Amino acid sequence: MWQVSLLNINEENLNQDMSSEKKYWKSADQLDDQNPVVEALEQKEFAEHIPTDEFLGDKEKLDSSQTSRRDFLKYVGFSTAAASLAACEGPVIKSIPYVVQPERLVPGVADYYATTIANGFDFASVLVKTREGRPIKIDNNTSASNFTAGKARVHASVLGLYDIKRQQNPQIEGRDATWTEFDDRVSQDLKNIGDKSIVLLTQTYASPSVNRLIKQFKEKYTNVEHIVYDAISEEAALNAYRNKYGIRALANYDFSEAETIVGVGADFLGDWQGGGFDASYAKSRVPNNGKMSKHIQFEANMTLTGANADQRVAVKPSTQNHVLVEIYNQIVGRVSATKLDDKTAKKVNSAIKALKKGGKKSVFVTGIQDEGAQQMALEINAKLQTELIDYTNPRMIRQGENSKINTLIADMKAGKVGSLMIAGVNPLYSLPNADEFESAMSKVNSTVAFSMKLDETAKVAKYVAATPHYLESWGDVQLAKNTFSLVQPTIQPLFNTRQFEDTLLKLIGGSKYYDFIKETFNQKFEGLSWNQSLHDGIFEYSSNSTEESDEKENEFNASSAAQSLLSNSAEGLELTLYTKTSLGDGQQANNPWLQEMPDPITRTSWDNYVTLSKVDADKMGITNNSVANGALNGDYVKVNLNGKTINKVPALIQPGQAPGSIGLALGYGKTEAIQEEMQVGVNAYKLYKDFNPSQTVSISKVEGIHEFACVQLHNTMMGRRDIVKETTLEVFNTKDKSYWNDTPKVSLNHEEVKVTSPEVDMWEEFDRSIGHHFNLSIDLNSCTGCGACVIACHSENNVPVVGKQEVRKSRDMHWLRIDRYYSSEESLQGDYDKKDDISGLSQSLNQFEELEQPSQTDVQVVFQPVMCQHCNHAPCETVCPVAASAHSRQGQNHMTYNRCVGTRYCANNCPYKVRRFNWFLYNQNDEFDYHMNNDLGRMVLNPDVTVRSRGVMEKCSMCIQMTQKTILDAKRDGREIKDGEFQTACSAACDKGAMVFGDVNDKESKVVEKYEDDRMYHLLEYLGTKPNVMYQTKVRNTTEA
Amino acid sequence: MRKVTFSQEFFKYLFLLVLVVSFSSTYAQEDATSEEAKSEETAAEQTEESAVPGGDPAKGKELFNSLCAACHKPYSDAVGPALHGVTERREMDWLYEWIKNSQALIKSGDQQAVALYEEWNKVAMNAFPQLSNQDIDDILSYVEQPKPEPKVAVAAEATTGEAQSGGGISNEIVLGILAFVLLMLSVILILVNKTLNRFAQANGIEVKDDKPKGKPIWVAFAENQFLVLSTVIVMLLVVAWYGYGGLMSVGIDQGYEPIQPIHYSHRIHAGENQIECKYCHSSARVSKHSGIPSLNVCMNCHKQIAEVAPETQAKGEQEFNVDYNAEIQKLYEATGWDPQTQSYSGESKPVKWIRIHNLPDFAYFNHSQHVTVGQIECQTCHGPVEEMEIMYQDAPLTMGWCINCHRETNVKMEGNEYYEKIHEELAKKYGVEKVTAAQMGGIECGKCHY
């Protein structure tokens, strides 16, 4: 009653207001009483007459119609009833067996083939899992010691096979053609070439057969020039190595035995010099007998390498030159005076001390793209007499001679080039002066693009030779001087494609490339079995002959090199272009897995952006802020390099970015042969002047707000030790476990009891002692945050891609995420101490707020992969009203999709936030036009894992399909299971050994060893959830040399 | 296409009844026919003895089946030529020599031999030095028997057919007669009643309705509240019972027996010929799929078997209305096999079978787990396949059905090293020797749903 009367009063008041002189209006027109529109709007709901006449106007027609309204309703009712009745009948499912079944193919059983990815950017020996003849997953080839597939891009490359944007036929002048016509036209063109030259512009193939083939091609056609072009150039390092060691290759580092690693601007855990060093690096990072490597990193952008370093010093590129010269000064010999501020100088000195202390176990690396700088690095390592470089086996996976590109452009412009054949590269996308190249190309009579897609270059080429994916190709690769691997097809070509090599062979009148490779193999590797090598995928062969020795340059003039390094006095902001862990050089930009994979550092997907320091952002008034739905927004900037500008680049404030420097990722901004959904970011290759990633630019804020798809906005742990436990090597070596890795205690009868003790347990324990009990250990010391596990999980478990807008709404579906935390103080230890010292309300209010903010320049970073923790006392299980979430005796927490009704109680009750809800149907839905929306893309799905539907909760299953298969195989063979046989997709993908999976009931297993390790802890242990996933405390080597 | 027969108890009982009624006569007839057929067979064998003098066709048949039948057929070409009439085409001595060692004969340059060798694509015939001339005579006398006229078989089939259908007809007749008698009786009753009434009327006798006129029965029923209530309850229960049954059977395709593109008889293959299931469904041993055999597996045997035995053919035509030979032709068409030239044309078209056992996508089932590890007979789930002319779904394939079995079936641990440790620990801990699949975790959700 009371409420009602109140309401009435309000209404009365309202009426009074209305009748008073106050007048409310929606638009200025309303104030004009005479305005007819206003009147019309007041009288009618719709200002304009609704055109019902169009379908109801013709009265005669309507009358003559046989269907009355009642009839219509009858039909609707009848057909609805009929449809629902018909739905009771199941569909007729056809099953079509082979006519002649291939001998080794058994439906339902996976076959594995060893092959090699060698796309000019990523080189790795891989195992390909095929089901019913379809490649569905890339695994690591564990026998490959070095070039393993532990990279997100390599694992994701299988999806590239099923890319709907692939070129399916050869093309001549924009129309589809046959190969015979193609061959005729191209060979005709080559015949009529006259005295002009033929230029082959290719990626780094690093293939003995391709080399031999091009040699033969040169013999057949005179005046052939072969230019190797790498989109991301390593020319400086290649030339420096040639000058010193007489072979144009890259130094082969092995960090596994390292004591000291000093890096200057070298993201060697990323793509520096071809990457792939992380596995050996991770080995040196695990404390063993109280010892681990010490890693000091000087860099501008926050990279994976810097994030893993024991000590990271944020210095902008021009200062990096000084750091390098200073280290050279003190280790090899004084060449030039350097200018460093006190703080940096101190850190440089301590790095030099550490290098000297490590002696032969020390190594110095740099990513400065300058021949002199690279040679200085080699000299430093030579002086240190480091044992961490294998000089007998340098890496061959980059061979680019990018400096020849400008000569080529000049030649083309001058009309000296009669035919340009471009294979495996996309210069019109990846050249800084792409426009110039394009106009020069138009002067060439015959241009042939050997390409998998109709990309920027192929689009303007006269002929497009559709090439197959590497999983459909033959080949051989010389990964390092003595390390070789073979490429074999794992599926028949899906489209009418032909390898570049086969076309070249056709042009010189040869046979098949397969025979050609075998011929090369038999010539080159005496005594090796072709079949065995093909089976293994990778093999070592050292030839005694020193056939192709490049010229050595005798004297290295260090002082002039130093001079030129130090002379660059940069004004303005210093840009460092980098490649992202996910997209790399941009070849796989049309791969939704990679687009959706959050960057390990920024945790942002579907974008590239300018990263800049807080100091610089404040100066320019650039801000990042979180909006109401929990997403991140940011300002746009304009980047200007000598008149070349990129407008509207989103800006992200990056903790740890050196003030005065900015970063921008290459590989984005593609517009050709890429689905609309994947056309994100800006093309930073425009700024890649002279193939130098370090440029001086100016930026200015421009209009607009950018919406980031960032999956992690809480950037610090606010001093909570229960999330990532961290300690220093010193403490680890000297103090007791209870000091640095104490088990949380709870109060029982006013006494402190360990949370793990059975008395405080409110649940009855399963008996798990018989059979298997799975546990997963994650070592935070060897985890570099590379994200290979994220993609491996994606591909094993049919995890859907949801797109940028959904990621923004925190609806990403990754079963496995890698959390990244910054320290708020200079170190995480500082955070812990600060939090412990807080007392009182006022102090806690402001100090917790401070703890929320990551430190900006001196910041420590930790990575923590988090997936379902498979708690033995799982909070999710108790709240499920339909028992869709249940526990097993093997330690896995089961998620039964067909039981799930989607209440999402489990996700709410999960303390680790690892459950993912299917808000939409992500397959066969045009709203989510990714690989699951087309027949081709769906071929990558794992047939052993259900594709989840809308309204269902899902989460990590601890790859139960894999553990069950291992068990079944053993049962069928009648044998016990050996340790190491049990794997999950993530543990198998981790070539760093950070993830160890196994059966804790097998007392000899590695995972038991991990369980009993002092460093072991469980995530949020005080909750008493008893997870089956454990972590190993991160130990940082902060000991000063 | 889809034909789901639901088990209807009522019809079952009716059928049983009828069967019992007609059993004795059918039994007698069957006996008679089988004996008849036997005697005819022996008669046929005896009459055609004289084709090759001194040969014993019975012995010859044995030898032929063990040595020759892999490549030769008496009346049609196979890998080698049809043998019927060979004694007319060739000299006996030449035949002895050829059969004992054909290669030697070819090498010696014998023109006939070389020509024959060329004609049959230079496929060398095995040498049979172990055969004596008498053995060869026996074989030849067997193949020289005139082709048995299908008449014999048809006659035999016709009799059996009659026997079968005879049972059916007699049932119907009995029922018909009974119905007719009943009808006649009631007609007579009415007629008699009418006549009596007419007599009474004619005689002026008033037929008195003694009973006082009570309420009609339906009014009495409607007024009895108890009766109404209990009837309503009963009716509701009946509706609920059938409604529940109907709804629970949605999606259960027990008895699903679709018409397949090729009439493939498991009865003949697995039943009569006793071919091991896993000979064709070989992937059941190692894979989650039992696998529909690829056509090259069929051709392992059917390269030789272009026609079924006449008795089988007749049975097919009579009982199942199918021409088995035409079905085999379908296989040849699909594989592109030309029985005349004994070669593949290279043109093949896959057979689109209709899948019978359809598990939902979210249920994981592995054949090898059950077949190889659990050593469970295929028939446990698939029913009496060896008796099925056309394959049908025998089990309901519901989750309850799966779980029941997992609860009742002991895990086969003996002789499997994988279970050794588990078995030992179980014995030590609980003092049990056997555990069911359920106790090993076989009814945990995630074991089948992931």
DSSP string, A132-169: TTEEEEEEE-TT-SSS---SHHHHHHHHHHT-TTB--S
Q: Which of A98, A769, A895 sits opposite B294 (nearest CB)?
A: A98
Q: What is the DSSP string of B340-356?
A: TTTEE-S------EEP-
- Bridge partners (DSSP) of residue A705 are A635
Answer yes or no: is B309 within a domain. Answer: no
Contact A100 B348 (CB under 8 A): yes
The verdict on B63 and B137 lying in the same domain is yes
Do residues B13 and B28 both lie within one domain? yes
| Claim to verify: residue B35 and residue B155 sit in the same structural domain | yes
CA atoms in the 13 A half-sphere facing the CB of A401: 12
Contact list in A for residue B289 (CB cut-off 8 A) is 107-108
- Do residue B40 and residue B177 come from a single domain? yes
| Sign of the torsion angle spanned by Cα atoms B328, B329, B335, B339 | positive
- Least confident among A445-454, A849-858, B267-276: A849-858
* Per-domain boundaries in chain A: 2-43, 171-233+400-469+493-524, 250-384, 573-710, 726-1036
Min Cα distance B271 → chain A (Å) is 23
Across chain B, mean pLDDT equals 80
Q: Sign of the CA dihedral A846, A850, A853, A856? A: positive
Out of A892, A960, A970, the one facing B418 most closely (by C-beta) is: A970
Handedness of CA B285, B286, B291, B293 (dihedral sign): negative
Sign of the CA dihedral with B161 first, then B162, B164, and B169 last: positive
Contact B447 A888 (CB under 8 A): yes
**pLDDT tens digit sequence for B153-208:** 444 444 444 444 444 567 888 999 999 999 999 999 999 999 998 888 888 777 66
Give the CA-trace dihedral at B352, B353, B359, B364, to 10 degrees: -70
What is A171-233+400-469+493-524's CATH topology? Rossmann fold (3.40.50)
pLDDT tens, residue by residue, A864-913: 999 999 999 999 999 999 999 998 889 999 999 999 999 999 999 999 99
Let me know if residue B342 belongs to a domain: no
Both structure tokens of A784 = 């570099």
Asked if pLDDT for residue A998 goes beyond 70, the answer is: yes
Block residue for tokens 């303005």 = A572
* 3-state SS class at A437: helix
Tokens of A184: 């005729």
pLDDT value, residue B161:
41
Residues on chain B touching A951 (C-beta within 8 angstroms): none
Per-residue pLDDT averaged across A1013-1030, rounded? 92
- The pLDDT, as a whole number, for residue B23 is 43
Burial class from Cβ neighbours inside 10 Å (0-12, 13-18, 19+) for residue A645 reads middle
CA distance B355 to chain A (A): 5
Both structure tokens of A706: 């950018």
Q: What is the pTM of this model?
A: 0.82
Q: Buried b vs exposed e over A968-1005: b needs ≥16 C-beta within 10 Å?
A: bebbbeeeebebeebbbbbbbbbbbbbbbbbbbbbeeb
Judged by CB atoms closer than 8 Å, whether chains meet at A946 and B369 is answered as: no
Of B258, B353, B450, the CB nearest to A960: B450
Cβ-based neighbours of A288, under 8 Å, separated by 6 or more: none
Closest CA to A943 of B287, B280, B293, B356: B287
A/B interface, count of CB pairs below 8 Å:
153
Chain A, nearest residue to B1 by Cα: A92
Q: Which two tokens stand for residue A137?
A: 């997953």
Interchain contact, A94 vs B283, CB within 8 Å: no
E strand or H helix at B23, and its extent?
helix B9-47
Alpha helices in A235-277 (DSSP H): 235-245
Across the interface, do B441 and A771 touch by the CB < 8 Å criterion? yes
Within 8 A of B352 by CB-CB distance, chain A residues are: 94-96
Report the residue from A95, A892, A973 with minimal CB separation from B446: A892
Rounded Cα distance between B248 and A112, Å, is 43
What residues of chain A lie within 8 A of the CB of B354, using their CB? Answer: 92-95
For residue B346, tell me if it sits in a domain.
no
- Distance in angstroms (rounded) separating the CA atoms of residues A942 and A961: 10
Per-residue pLDDT, A40:
67
Q: Are residues B81 and B230 in the same domain?
A: no
Is the pLDDT reported for residue B46 higher than 50? no
- CATH T-level topology, domain A726-1036: Alpha-Beta Plaits (3.30.70)
How close is the nearest chain A Cα to the Cα of B97, in Å? 39
Q: How far is B144 from chain A, CA to nearest CA, in Å? A: 37
363-392 of B, contacting A, C-beta below 8 A: 363-364, 366, 368-369, 372-373
Mean pLDDT across A528-546: 85
Contacts of A889 in chain B (CB under 8 A): 441, 444
pLDDT of residue A498 exceeding 80, the answer is yes
The secondary structure of residue A498, as a DSSP letter, is: -
Enter the CATH code of domain A250-384: 3.40.228.10
- What size, in residues, is chain B? 450
Q: Is residue B164 located within the same domain as residue B125?
A: no
* CA dist., res. B264 & res. A95, Å (int): 15
**What is the pLDDT, as a whole number, of residue B75?**
79
What is the number of domains present in chain B? 4
Does residue B78 fall inside a structural domain? Answer: yes
User: Are B182 and B224 in the same domain?
Assistant: no
Alpha-carbon gap: B223 to the closest alpha carbon of chain A (Å): 38
Fold of A573-710: Barwin-like endoglucanases (2.40.40)
Assess whether pLDDT exceeds 80 at residue A774: yes
Residues B19 and B137 in one domain: no
Q: Is A69's pLDDT higher than 70? A: yes
Concatenated DSSP letters for B37-86? HHHHHHHHHHHT-TTSTT--HHHHHHHIIIIITTT--SSS-SSS---TTH
Domain-embedded: residue B22: yes
**Number of other residues whose CB lies within 10 A of the CB of residue A38:** 18
- B122 vs A531, higher pLDDT: A531
Measured CA to CA in angstroms, residue A631 lies from A747, A805, A821 at distances of 39, 10, 18
Residues of B in contact with A100 (CB under 8 A): 294-296, 348
| Boundary of a domain, candidates B113, B143, B173 | B143
If asked whether residues B19 and B162 sit together in one domain, one would say: yes
Strands A311-314 and A294-299: parallel
Nearest-angstrom CA–CA distance, B149 and A495: 56
Nearest-neighbour CA in chain B from A950: distance (Å): 14
Tell me which residue in A770, A892, A976 faces B429 most closely, judged by beta carbons.
A770
Please calculate the CA angle B444-B447-B450 and round it to the nearest 5 degrees.
120
Count the Cβ atoms, other than its own, within 10 Å of residue A738: 9
Mutate to test the interface with B, among A98, A957, A960 (most CBs of B within 10 A): A98
The rounded distance, in Å, linking the Cα atoms of A235 and A405 is 12
Enumerate residues 6+ apart whose C-beta is below 8 A from B205: none
pLDDT band at B34 (very low <50, low <70, confident <90, very high): very low
CA-CA distance, B256 to B392, in Å (whole number)?
5
Q: Which of residues 404-433 of B touch A (CB under 8 A)?
A: 415-422, 425-426, 429
B247 contact A CB<8A = no
Q: How confident is the model at residue A643 (pLDDT cuts 50, 70, 90)?
A: confident
| Secondary element (H or E) of residue A665 | strand A661-666
Closest among B307, B302, B367, B373 to B331, alpha carbons compared: B302
> Where residue B74 sits, what CATH number does that domain have?
1.10.760.10
d(CA A833, CA B421): 50
Q: Are residue B139 and residue B155 in the same domain, yes or no?
A: no
Q: Are B107 and B62 members of one domain?
A: yes
R_g (Cα) of chain B, nearest Å:
34
When scoring A95, A766, A899, A966 by the number of chain B Cβ atoms within 10 A, the one with the most, hence best to mutate, is A95
Among B residues 278-337, those touching chain A with beta carbons less than 8 Å apart: 283, 286-289, 291-297, 334-335
Which among B350, B418, B425 has the least Cβ separation from residue A770?
B425
Q: What is the mean pLDDT of chain A?
A: 89
Q: Which residues face A612 on adjacent strands? A: A653, A662
Nearest residue on chain A to B3, judged by CA atoms? Answer: A89
Contacts of A779 (CB under 8 A, 6+ apart): A286, A993, A994, A995, A996, A1010, A1015, A1031, A1032
Which tokens go with A85?
A: 């009745």
Coil, helix or strand for A67?
A: coil
Q: Do B354 and A92 touch (CB under 8 A)?
A: yes
pLDDT tens, position by position, B71-127 = 787 777 777 788 888 888 888 888 888 888 888 888 888 888 888 888 877 777 888
Residue B302 lies in a domain: no
The residue segments making up the domain with residue B424 are 398-450
Same domain, B92 and B230: no
| pLDDT of A932 higher than 90 | yes
Reading the block at residue A116, the tokens are: 């090699």
- The enclosing H or E element of A640 equals strand A632-641
Nearest CA-CA distance, residue A467 and chain B, Å = 29
CA distances (Å), origin A903, targets A453, A885, A916, A920, A948: 44, 12, 12, 15, 16
User: Using CA atoms, how far apart are residues B102 and B108, in angstroms rounded to an integer?
Assistant: 10
Q: How confident is the model at residue B43 (pLDDT cuts 50, 70, 90)?
A: very low
Residue of B nearest to A89 (CA): B251
Q: Is residue B107 assigned to a domain? A: yes
B378: closest CA of chain A, how far (Å): 17
How many CA atoms lie less than 13 Å away from A488 in the CB half-sphere? 21
Distance from CA of A944 to the nearest CA of B (A): 8
Q: A972 and B372: CB-CB below 8 Å?
A: yes
Residue of A nearest to B352 (CA): A96
Q: Check if the beta carbon of residue B253 is closer than 8 Å to that of residue A90.
A: yes
Query: Closest Cα partner for A495 from A463, A461, A449, A452?
Result: A452
Structural domain includes residue B253: no
Q: Which residues is A775 bridged to in the sheet?
A: A998
B16 pLDDT higher than 60: no
At A929 the pLDDT is: 93
Among A274, A228, A269, A231, residue whose Cα is nearest residue A123: A274
Quick one: pLDDT at residue A289? 87
The predicted model gives A428-453 an average pLDDT of 93
Pairing relationship of beta strands A632-641 and A624-626 according to DSSP bridges: antiparallel
Mutate to test the interface with A, among B353, B391, B440, B444 (most CBs of A within 10 A): B444
Question: What is the C-alpha to C-alpha distance for residues A307 and A150, in angstroms, rounded to an integer?
Answer: 18
Residue among A771, A884, A971 whose CB faces B416 most closely: A971
Which two tokens mark B141?
């006398």
Question: Taking a C-beta distance cutoff of 8 angstroms, is the pair B448, B363 a contact?
Answer: yes
